[in-house]
Amino acid sequence: MAVPLLRALFRSDSASAGASPEPSPSPVEALCRVFCVLAVGALLFLTVSAGLCALMPGPGGRGGLVLTFGLIGLLLLAGAVYSGVRMVRQALSDSRRNSECLLEAKQRALELAALYDTSHDVSVQHELSTLLQTILERAKNLLSAAGCAIFLYDSEQNDFQIAAEVGVGMPVGSHLPMDRGPAGHVARTREPLILKDYRTWPDRSRDISKLPIKSTVLVPMMRGGELVGVLGVHELVGTSREFNEADARLLSLFADNAASAVRVARLLEAVRDSEERFRIAARCASDIVYDWDLAADSVVFFGARYDQLRAENQPVARTRQEFWDTVHPDDLQRVRRAFHSHLEAGTLFSEEYRISDGKGAYLIVSDRAMAIRNQKGKAVRLIGAVTDITERKRAEQMKTDFVSFVTHQLRTPLSGVKWMLELAMETLDNPEEMQSFVRDARISTDRLIGLVNDLLDVSRLERGSIKVARRPVDLAGLTREVVAELDPLVKDKRQRFSVLAPERLPEPRVDPQLIRQAVLNLIANAVKYTPEEGEVRVRIEAGDGGLRWEIRDTGIGIPPADMRKLFEKFYRAGNVLAVETEGTGLGLYLVRLIVERFGGRVWCESEEGVGSTFVFTLPLENGEVR
């Protein structure tokens, strides 16, 4: 009993605690126990001493015994008083330390709460630039500092980029070398760094060496052992605050959370970028791209054309059957066969077919697709690109039609020349007959030359390479000349022909040869497509800043369906083939090219079977005329 008692007496606090196998009492408790033992002992001895003294009054042989008991009692009392004082002092000191601990615990709890909030805020941000701003604000607030900066590690260039900054105006976006500056040091050592004064760092990076940074704490942003960047928090010149280890620890904890968030945001950004690139590429290459989940039988479309369909509220297929329903019945079997053959045998799927446009017509599309297969080789998804090739097909058809039409139109007069000359050769002994064959050969030749000239004019006007000699032209005079030229034809058909024009007309500055060609084509058409004894009237007048030239006939007219295409190249109205087949489909197209060349406009109004009116305008000054 005496050993722990003495130990408790002479050793302060809990130095014995480590050696004791049992949970050791606190110093106050130990002192309290000692105090109690000593006080009880003192009381006991003093009572005994007092008792002896009372029982044996007067000096006697027991006086020594009383004295001894009394002394021991007094000693014990003194010990009790001493330990009591120590106990009270210890208790007071404990209480002070407890309140300090409590205070620190409270502070840490606050910091942890801030760290938690901060890390949580950061982890829910998936957009990199927003995330960086959030990290800045949170890190700055976490240490209640003036500024903060994030230096992201660029593994490709092996340097830092100042990714975001708040407080001191660092050049965001600029790169810093790895081998300099405090940030470089942190990146190399991967340990936090606390500086009392940034300006005393020997090799500061040039870009930021002049900034008013005083004390700073920098920590690495690590994720899975990999350096993501360095996070720095700083105070400005003119303040006295210094950062401490606790600040560095707290910031490190936060920096690692931030590093994870940056990694995730970067990955997501990369995924978004790649998806965006795919979408753009798909959009550029095709009208519609589809992604078909074969197991779920659901399809997702995207692309410019799809957006357009959606904007028009057109129904879009959602399942395989809905898709098959849009395919033209004549193409369906072929497309289905190719589709299944691709899925089952892996043959290339590249088909052209017709699909309903939802408005009663069919589009021609080119569809190329490729299946994504699982590990067993079974097709699970089908990614395809659909391009609307309706226009291309139409153009190809037009080209084919053009080639065969021109071929026919050129071959006919050529055959005429060839055969007439063959006949002429056989009739050398009959000069009269021979001459008639040669004459026919010449007429065929003229026709051929006319056709070739028209083709050349069209080509030159289209390319803009024709030489244009502008000068004031008397349109009425020019028209009368053309009419005179065609007079035999008009007389032949017993048609009434009139030209109505005021005495003095302003003269547009145009190329007389080209305008003559336009006038000739329009008059010749009117005469050609107006039956015998019909009427053709030309009227020319000034107005609206230009001249208006009009020809009205009582001819076969133009079917409404053909009106729109009338001035197109090689277009011939359906009903003219009933009259003749020599036409080239170039006449009205040339008229349009010529009139538009001089800033004018040409159009026509017609009723089939009643007649047609063709009008063109020419501006009097340079410019457009209505």
Partner 1 sequence: MINARILVIEDDKFLRRACEVSLGKRGFTVLTAVDGEEGIRQALSGSPDLILLDMLMPRLTGIETLEVLKREEKTRHIPVVILSNSSIEADVQRAKALGAVGYLVKASLSLRELGDRVIGFLEQAGMDPGTPQDPPR
Give the chain's length: 626
Cα 214 → chain centroid: 43
Distance between CA 287 and CA 306 in Å, rounded?
7
Q: Give the residue among 131, 41, 34 at the shortest CA–CA distance from 87.
A: 34
| Residue 5: C-alpha distances to residues 11, 30, 93, 223 (Å) | 10, 8, 21, 55
Q: What are phi and psi of 544, to 5 degrees?
A: 55, 35
Tokens representing 224?
Answer: 């899975």
3-state SS of 105-172 is HHHHHHHHHHHHHHHHHHHCCCCHHHHHHHHHHHHHHHCCCCEEEEEEEECCCCEEEEEEEECCCCCC
Q: How far is the CB of 437 from partner 1 (least distance, A)?
A: 8
Three-state DSSP class for residue 225: coil
Sheet with 175-177, strands from edge to edge, namely: 175-177, 159-166, 147-154, 226-236, 213-223, 193-195
User: Cβ closer to partner 1: 93 or 412?
Assistant: 412
Q: Give the residue among 261, 41, 254 at the shortest CA–CA distance from 129.
A: 261
Instruction: Please compute, for residue 261, the number of CA atoms within 13 A of its CA located in the half-sphere on the CB side.
Output: 25
Q: Which residues bind partner 1 (CB under 8 A)?
A: 404, 407-408, 411-416, 418-420, 422-423, 426, 440, 443-444, 577-582
**Percent of residues in the chain assigned helix, strand, coil, to nearest 5:** 50, 20, 30
Radius of gyration, CA atoms only, the chain = 53
